[in-house]
Amino acid sequence: MAPGSLPLFIALWPLLGWVCHGNRVPSLQCQASSAWAAPQAPGRGGWPCWGTELSVCPSHKLLPLTSLDTNPIRGTSCIQLSVVACGPRLQETLVMLKSSVLTMRSCVHAHIFAEDELHGAFQEELSAWPAAYKKRFAFTMYAISFPQSHTANWKQLFKPCASQRLFLPLILQSLDAVLYVDTDILFLSPVEDLWSYFYRFNSSQLAGMAPEHEATQIGWYNRFARHPYFGKTGINSGVMLFNLTRVRQTFFKNDLSPSPLTWDDLLLPLYHKYRLNLTWGDQDLINIIFHHNSEKLYVLPCQWNFRPDHCMYGLNCATALPLGVHVLHGNRGVYHNDKQPAFSAVYEAIRHFPFGGDMERHLLAPLRAALQVTEHTYCGRMPAVFTASLQRITDDFLVFD
């Protein structure tokens, strides 16, 4: 280092830290390491990561990027999709990923958080996809990681490992935005259409989610919640547009401190305060946060997170009837039991659809036949709700050869 340059470097270091701490323009790379290595963000006090628990990131094992093609997608603006899979969620996650590529027009990069014993199966299954799909799809495997002092609590907060999504802003330091989905999600319309809602955010909004219920008469939060929640009926976090850069930059109003807190400083104290009142785990924590920061949430239309509650008592998602369901959410295990056969019919149709097959003959026709058998149920009485979006794709979308 040249004489006299050290004082200048020391003077500029705080500014460099500010730039890399999330106040960067999207194209700026804040880490000198390879994109194949674990991200090292310049955190507080010189630690490689920042947060409520300094152990969140140091204990997090980021595995190498694993692309399904020998030439990974580079220089392309791909949809950044994130999912967390633990326990018996492997097959469900694979069907979700399959649905995302069947409907996509550009490319998807999936960030898959999974228990170590599932990594090999993901590698094997995804590597067997046809080349035409692999050219538009890449994935990265991540190990599950939580604050060490409360790993068991976070891991079992609701569904196994689902609360990992709370830590995405801390772990995915190199990403500006991500679309998080639960494993029981199915894309019935192009994922790009959902991603485009990022461009509808105003300057304050940093996340997009759909309401938990459309009708207060059957709402869960407004009738049973023992903690604050967003709006009239709460929000569902199974489909979540997450502007990670804004989350990292923002100070959130809260009921813990007279001063706003950062996302990472907020999570653990919030959990401690409400842990005995949380029914839906991390979703409840997200509701509490946006109850106090409602201006920061973009409310998605219900057809982007359509659940059994939207039809099991009669259709109460008005936009789904003319437009069709865009994203199906089979929560409560309905893909795998007989409680909502219309939902399991869609899941099975996508699961059995052969890559490269004709979508009319090999997807829509079997699905319509399966839905006819479900007409005795409230959800099954409206088969067009489940097929309209797929029909548009069949009519307009260029199917892979």
Domain with CATH 3.90.550 in the chain: 50-300
Does the pLDDT at position 4 exceed 80?
A: no
pLDDT of amino acid 192: 96
- Burial (Cβ within 10 Å: 0-12, 13-18, ≥19) of residue 321: middle
113, pLDDT greater than 70 = yes
Collapsing DSSP to helix, strand or coil, 107 comes out as coil
Kindly report the pTM of this predicted structure.
Answer: 0.81
Q: Does domain 50-300 have CATH number 3.40.50?
A: no
Distance between CA atoms of residues 58 and 98, nearest Å: 32
Average pLDDT score over residue span 294-298: 99
**Phi, psi (degrees; rounded to nearest 5) at 195:** -60, -35
Kindly state the tokens that stand for 116.
């170590």
Report pLDDT for 154: 59
Percent of the chain predicted with pLDDT > 90: 66
CA 234 to CA 240: how far, in whole Å?
Answer: 14
Listing DSSP states for 190-210 in one string gives -HHHHHGGGGG--SS--EEEE
> Is the pLDDT reported for residue 142 higher than 60?
yes
Comparing 324 with 29, which gets the higher pLDDT? Answer: 324
Please write the tens of the pLDDT for every residue from 195-216.
999 999 999 999 999 999 998 9
Residue 206 neighbours by CB under 8 Å, 6+ apart? 242, 243, 246, 247, 250, 296, 297
* Tens of pLDDT, residues 173-184: 999 999 999 999
The Cβ of residue 176 has, within 10 Å, a number of other Cβ atoms equal to 18
With 90 as the cut, is the pLDDT of residue 57 above it?
no
pLDDT > 60? residue 85: yes
Residue 145's pLDDT is 81
Distances (CA, A) of 72 to 106, 109, 216, 250: 14, 10, 47, 33
Contact 266, 289 (CB under 8 A): yes
**pLDDT tens sequence across 364-383:** 999 999 999 999 999 999 99
Residue 144, pLDDT score:
87
For 238, which DSSP code? E
